[in-house]
Chain A
Amino acid sequence: MRIRNDRDAATRRAVASRLRFPRQALGSSGRRWLLACGLGLPLAAGLPGCAPSRQRAAYVVAAREADGAHVLVLHDAAYAELARIRVDARAHGFAQDPGRPDRVVVFARRPGTRAWVVDLAERRLVAAFSSAGGRHFYGHGAFTADGSHLLTTENDYEAGRGVIVARSTDDWRIVGEFPAHGVGPHELRLMPDGRSLAVAIGGIRTHPARPRENLDIDAMRPALNYVEIASGRLLGRYEPPDHRQGIRHLDVAADGTVLVAIQHEGQAGDGPGGGLLARHRGEDALAFPEAAPGDWVALQGYVGSVRVAAAGRHAIASSPRGNALVFWDWKANRLEESLPMLDACAVAIDARGTLAVATGGAGEVRGFVREDGRWRLARVAAADVGKALAFDNHMEAVG
C-alpha cells in the first residue's frame, strides 16, 4: 500500500459533509432556503440550494476564446452554452468525482503543472493545485471509486519516468505515488473492479524544456497497462504491433473492455500496424476493428479522443487531422460509420450509446443520434459569429 494518509470511511464522510455544507444546510431549512433565494439575489444565483433556477451542465469542454483566453465551457444537454469559466492555462482532460458529481477536476495540458477543481453547481473554480517540483501533468486523471483519492499521470521528467500520483481529495495533498510502468503515461481510467487502472502509455520521452518535441521515436514503447492501485503492481501490459503506434487515450466500458486510441508517430496507412483504434477484453493482444477501405487512411494517423457508452456496444472517436468522427461497434469490433467534421476532437457519448456529441476547433458542436441502426447528425450548434470559441481536445459528459 503506497498511498499514505488514507482516512477511514467515517472520517472521509465527515470531511465530505463539511465540504458539502452549503447545500445541506440550506436544504435542511426551508426558511433559510427561501431567504437565500429571495434576498441575497446575486449570492443566491451561485448557491446550489437555488439549483431549480439553474440548468444542470451536461458537458464540460476545454476551449480557447478569440482573444486567446483559456476557458472551460459548460453546455446543457441540448449543447446550449451555460457558462464559461476562465482558467489560467490551457486545459486538457477531466475527472468527475463519483461521489460528488458536481465536483470535476480539470488538468492542464502537457507539460502543464496546474489542475483546477470546478463546482458545476456553482459554475466556478473552488480550488486549484499544482504538480510537485520536477513533475508535470499529462492532462488526465481519475478518482478512486470511493472518491477519496485522485490519481494523475505525471512526468518525472529528469528521470524520464512516468508516475501515477495519488492525492487526497480532502485537501489535494499528495499522499503517495506508484510507477506507471512506462514512459509517457497519458489518459487513465478506473477499471470497473475499482481496484485497478487502465493506463495509456504513449511511450515517448518528453521534457518541458522542449515541450512539444518527442525526444526519441525509435525508443518508443507504447502500451496499454493495467496497474493495481493498492500495490502499484503491473497487472498486464499490451503493446501495439508497431512501436510507433503511441497509445495516449482510452476509455473503459462497464464490462471492463478497454478501447484505446492511437497516434501514429510515423506514416500510418492501411493494414497491419496502420490501425488507430483497438480493443482489449482479456485477450493476449490488442484487437483492431474491421474497417472499410479508407477508414484508417482518412484518420491521417491520429485519433485524438475516444469515448465508450457505459452500457451497450457503441463508442465514438475523433480525428482532428482527418476532419472525421468514427462510430465503433466495439462488441462486433467493427467501425460502423465515418462522418466528416472539421477539426473534430472532443467527444462524448451517453450511457446507452444512443446519443453522441463532438466539438471542433472551429467552434462547432455537433450532436448525433443512433436511429434504425445508424448514426445520424441531429443538430449543429454553432458558435456566434464574432464570438468564436475554439474547442480543445477533450470534453466530459457530467450530467
Chain B
Amino acid sequence: MKRSTTSRMLACALVAGLLLAACDRSPAPAGAGTDRSGPRAAADRIAEAEQRFVDDLYARYILPASEAFAARGEALHAAAQAFCGAPDGEGFAALQRAWREAVMAWQPIRWLQTGPASEQHRALRVDAWPQARLELVATRVGQLLASGQPVDAAAIANQPVQLQGLPALETLLFEGRSAIDFAGSPAGARRCALVVGIAGNVADIARSQRALWRQGADGGTRANSVFVSAGSAAVPPHNVINQVGNLLMQQLVELKDSAIGAPIGFSPSGQAFSPRPRLAHSWRSRASLERVLVSLESVHAVWSAGGDGYGLDDLLAARGAEAAAVEFETLLAAALDKARELHADGLTIHDGATDDAGRARLAELYERVRSLEVQAQLVVMPALDVALTFNFSDGD
C-alpha cells in the first residue's frame, strides 16, 4: 500500500514536472525584466503614481485638515468652558462662533469616513447626519437634559451618537437661545454642563483622530494601511484609490441628494416633492450652504492636491485620461462658482428652500452638482480604474 502511494506520488511529480516544463517553454514577453514599456512596467508606473497621490493626500490634505479640526475642537471646548464659567452675551457669541469654526474645520474631512474616522464610529459621533427622524437630535437632547444622567465628556462618549457631537451642540446653541438660558437656574447650569461635556467629547475625538492619522504621516504602505483600516496588513495603493474614489462619490451623492435635494424637494431620482427646509444640514445655525461650499472646495483640494501637489488630475494624466480631467475640472469650477455666488448673496439652504425664487437658485446648484456626480461616476472613476461599489445600494 505504501509502495503504491509512493509510486503514485513519483508518477504525479513526474507528470507535474513535465507540465511545468511545458509551461516554461512558453515564449517570454519581449524584453521582460529590463524593458520599461511592457504592461508590467506600465502597471508599476501606475502603482508608483498612485502611491505618490496617497502620500500627497496625507501631507497636503489629511494631516493639515485633521490638525485644524483638532485645534478647532479644543477651541470649542475652551469657549464652552469660558462661557459657562461666566455666562454673558459676549461669551455666548464667542461660543457660537467657535461652534461654527469647528463645523467649517470638520466639513473638509467629513467625507473621509474611512480609517481613523470610521473606527470607533468617530465620524458618526462628531456629525450624525442625515438623521433617521427629523427632530431626533433635539428630542434626545431634551431627554438627556431632563434626566439625571451625568453629562461630562466621558459620560457623553457613552451616549447615543446623536448626543455626542456638533448637531447636538447646534441644537443647544442655536435653538433661539441666548446667554440667559444657560445661567441663573439649575436647568441653565445643566444645559451649560451639557454643552461643555459635548464640546469636550468632540475635542477628545478630534485629538484621537489626529493622532491616528499621523500614523500614516510617513506615507508608503503604512499610510495605505491606516487609510483603509488594515492594521498591520500590507495594502497596495490602488486599494486606497478605490476607497478615495468611492468616498468622493458618496460625498457628491450626499451633497446632491441630502444637503441640497431633500430640503428643496428633489428626490434622489429627480422627482419633485414638498420642500422640507429642516432637512438641511445645520438648518438652525443657517450653516447649510456654507457647508456645501466647503465640501465642494474639499473636492477641489483633493482633485488638484492644492495646485502644486500630485492630485487626482495628475493620476488621470498618468493614465492618459487628460480629457476626462479637463471636463471634470470645468464642471467642478461651475459648481463652485454657483455655490460661492449663492453664499455671497447671503442665501442659506433652509431659507432658500422656503420660497420659489430661492428654490430656483438652489436648483441651479443642485443641477451643477448632479452633472459633477454623473461625470465622476461615468467617466472619472472608470478612468481611474476605481471599482464603484454596488452592494450598498443593490443588496437583497
The answer on a CB contact under 8 Å between B230 and A380 is yes
Complex alpha-carbon distance, A389 and B8, angstroms: 38
Q: Does A373 contact B (CB under 8 A)?
A: no
Chain A residues with CB under 8 Å of B157's CB are 293
Q: Does A161 contact B (CB under 8 A)?
A: no
Stretch at the interface among A15-23, A231-239, A309-317, A334-342: A334-342
Q: Does A396 contact B (CB under 8 A)?
A: no
Complex alpha-carbon distance, A390 and B393, angstroms: 13
Instruction: Indicate whether A380 sits within 8 Å of B395 (C-beta atoms), given known contacts A34-B11, A298-B124, A363-B387.
Output: no
The answer on a CB contact under 8 Å between A338 and B121 is yes
Q: In chain A, what residue has the closest Cβ to B224?
A: A380
Instruction: Indicate whether A376 sits within 8 Å of B231 (C-beta atoms), given known contacts A30-B4, A41-B19.
Output: yes
Q: Does A32 contact B (CB under 8 A)?
A: no
Tell me the chain B residues, 213-236 only, with Cβ under 8 Å from chain A. Answer: 228-231, 233-236
Q: In chain B, what residue has the closest Cβ to A383?
A: B387
Instruction: Indicate whether A361 sits within 8 Å of B396 (C-beta atoms), given known contacts A34-B11, A297-B128, A380-B234.
Output: no
Closest Cβ–Cβ distance, residue A305 to chain B (whole Å)? 9
Chain B residues with CB under 8 Å of A92's CB are 396
The answer on a CB contact under 8 Å between B392 and A320 is yes
- Over the window 370-399 of chain A, the binary record of Cβ atoms lying under 8 Å from chain B Cβ atoms (1 yes, 0 no) is 000000111110110110111111000000
Instruction: Indicate whether A53 sits within 8 Å of B16 (C-beta atoms), given known contacts A304-B391, A340-B114, A363-B387.
Output: yes
The answer on a CB contact under 8 Å between B229 and A294 is no
Interface of A, helix, strand, loop or mixed by DSSP: mixed
The answer on a CB contact under 8 Å between B113 and A363 is no
- 21 A-B contacts, Cβ less than 8 Å apart? A30-B4, A30-B7, A37-B12, A248-B396, A271-B160, A274-B132, A297-B161, A302-B392, A339-B119, A339-B229, A342-B242, A344-B391, A361-B389, A362-B246, A362-B389, A380-B228, A383-B387, A385-B43, A385-B236, A391-B391, A393-B395
- With A52-B12, A293-B121, A304-B395 given, can you name 8 additional A-B contacts, CB distance below 8 Å? A270-B162, A294-B124, A324-B118, A340-B118, A343-B389, A364-B239, A380-B228, A388-B387
B residues within 8 Å of A by Cβ?
Answer: 4, 7-8, 11-12, 14-16, 19, 43, 46-47, 113-115, 118-119, 121, 124-125, 128, 131-133, 136, 157-162, 164, 228-231, 233-236, 238-239, 242-243, 246, 385-393, 395-396
A residues within 8 Å of B by Cβ?
Answer: 30, 33-34, 37-38, 41, 50, 52-53, 64, 66, 92, 109-110, 139, 186, 248, 263, 267-271, 274, 292-295, 297-298, 300-302, 304, 320-321, 323-324, 338-345, 360-364, 366, 376-380, 382-383, 385-386, 388-393
